[in-house]
Amino acid sequence: MPAPVRATSAYAYNPLIHALCERGRVADALGVLDGMLCRGCAPDVVTYNILLEAACKARGYLQAMDLVDLMRAEGCEPNNVTYNVIIDAMCREGDVDQAREFLDSLPSRGCQPNTVNYNTVLKGFCSAERWEDGDELLDEMVRENCPPNEATLNVIINALCRKGLLQKVTRYLEKMSKYGCAANVVTYNAVINGICEQGHVDSALELLSNMQSYGCKPDIVTYNTLLKGLCSAERWEDAEELIAKMTQNDCLPDNMTFNTIINFLCQKGLIVQAFEVFKQMPEKGCNPNSITYSTMIGGLAKAGKLEQALELINEMASKGFNSDKMYHLLTEYLNKEDKIEEVVEAVHKLQDAGISPHTVLYNTVLLGLCRNGKTDYAIDMFADMVSCGCMPDELTYIILIEGLAYEGYLKEARELLSKLCSRDVLSNSLIRNEALLLGQNIHSS
């Protein structure tokens, strides 16, 4: 029998160490490191960097520093990535001054700071709103021939936008441009989002107009962010104009675009307008997704437009979307006695219009009825379902069994379960679950 092959290089061990660290098993990963050292397999800088990052997250940077000492003792020199892990951990733990001192000490450790190291400390200063310290660090980067890049700019702008300090954004954009660092679309998107959140939509529109003159083309995120701001301000005409501008600029609206508009219109009770947008989607090259359907159905149900809501549930099911969310949609609606007849009538109207209700639609209505103690109506609906040639599924029967049990009709529920068992309608696992619910000893085949 051949001897087992042993890994002889760190390259072979690193994936295992990384996987253990990803699962939070840092102690086991350190055990693998000990095994490597015992076998005379020298860990490389990647090995230590993986372990160091995991140790920082699990134990804090002070304890993780022991790994750096071990690293050096084993003849493996730390690199910029190694030190950046430590700097990032210091900043995350709130020790920004310690991180700054550590950055300054890198040359004495035989490592020249790079832009990533500076950006990490800068992010720490920005999070702590220490803008003057951040300015000093930017100037130092230029002096040390480590020029700021797009990531540097994004760190500052994102922090300013999160803090709502938009008045400082322009100053930093100008300052960074002097360093030869122009804003990219990610930066502009962050600024536009911050401006919109503060309600200054006109300023955001102005910035959109200026973007291309600054050599930056808006993307779908830019337009969708601004669209959300316009909808929040109920500026529907401007929203329509923006969508038209998107198409003109070869940036076609996507599901997020339409979902944003439909969601806001439904929230404001403008259901007719929302449904118009919904119907226009295929014409504009974008088909509704499950979020679109859920939003539109919820809006229609709340507005009392039950027939349209049920029709969309049916359409959604026929297109193969996951309709789990729809099962709970009508529960609140059916809580009122006068709405039950309306639901039944709405289903019949669909049938009269030549629309064959899907099993999912019936299950949705059945669940709504049973959850509101209307199992008698649910049984009538079930009979209607079968007579119309719509085949029940396992969920249909479970809804009825649990509906009967919930209302105290345990005998009827048990009889139904027994019949289904004898006809092999339900799977064994469901039979066991339902029998347990009813306190009945039924043996599955």
Residue 385 located in a structural domain:
no
Q: How far is the C-alpha of 157 from the C-alpha of 208, rounded, in Å?
A: 16
3-class SS string, 172-224: HHHHHHHCCCCCCHHHHHHHHHHHHHCCCHHHHHHHHHHHHHHCCCCCHHHHH
Residue 13 located in a structural domain:
yes
Give the per-residue pLDDT at 332. 57
What lies within 8 Å, CB to CB, of 298 at 6+ separation is 266, 329
How many structural domains is the chain composed of? Answer: 1
As a 3-state breakdown, the chain gives helix, strand, coil percent values, each rounded to 5, of: 75, 0, 25
What lies within 8 Å, CB to CB, of 436 at 6+ separation is none
Give the per-residue pLDDT at 329. 58
| Joined tokens for residue 245 | 């501008």
Residue 213 located in a structural domain:
no
Task: Provide the 8-state DSSP code for 328.
Answer: G
Helix spans in 303-427 (H):
306-318, 337-352, 359-371, 375-387, 394-406, 410-422
At position 36, the amino acid (one-letter code) is: M
Residue 217 located in a structural domain:
no
**φ and ψ at residue 98, rounded to 5 degrees:** -65, -40
Residue 52 located in a structural domain:
yes
Half-sphere exposure of 374 (CA within 13 A, CB side): 25
What own/partner pairs with CB < 8 Å and gap ≥ 24 does 314-322 have?
Answer: 314/350, 314/355, 314/357, 314/358, 314/360, 314/361, 316/290, 316/360, 317/358, 317/359, 317/360, 317/361, 318/358, 321/289, 321/290, 321/293, 322/290
Residue 70 located in a structural domain:
yes
What lies within 8 Å, CB to CB, of 286 at 6+ separation is 252, 253, 254, 255, 257, 258
Give the per-residue pLDDT at 336. 58
Q: Cα 313 vs. chain centroid, distance in angstroms?
A: 24
Q: Which 3 state secondary structure label does DSSP give 136?
A: helix
Residue 308 located in a structural domain:
no
Q: What is the value of pTM for the model shown? A: 0.60
Burial track 228-244 (b if 16+ CB lie within 10 A, e otherwise): bbbbebebbebbeebbe
What own/partner pairs with CB < 8 Å and gap ≥ 24 does 172-181 have?
Answer: 175/138, 176/148, 176/152, 179/138, 179/142, 179/147, 179/148, 180/147, 181/147, 181/148, 181/149, 181/150, 181/152, 181/153
State which residues form the domain around 14.
Answer: 1-78
Render each residue's pLDDT in the chain as its tens digit; 445 residues: 333 434 568 888 999 999 999 999 999 999 999 999 998 899 999 999 999 999 999 889 988 889 999 999 999 999 999 999 999 999 999 999 999 999 999 999 999 999 999 999 999 999 999 999 999 999 999 899 898 888 888 888 888 877 777 778 877 877 777 777 778 888 889 888 888 988 889 988 988 888 877 778 999 999 999 999 999 999 989 998 998 899 888 899 999 999 999 999 999 999 999 999 999 999 888 999 988 998 998 898 888 887 888 888 878 877 877 655 555 555 555 555 567 777 777 777 777 777 777 888 888 888 878 877 888 888 888 888 888 888 888 888 888 888 888 888 778 777 777 777 666 665 555 555 555 555 554 444 4
Residue 5 located in a structural domain:
yes
Residues 395 and 427 sit within 8 Å (Cβ to Cβ): no
| Joined tokens for residue 83 | 């030190």
Give the per-residue pLDDT at 1. 36
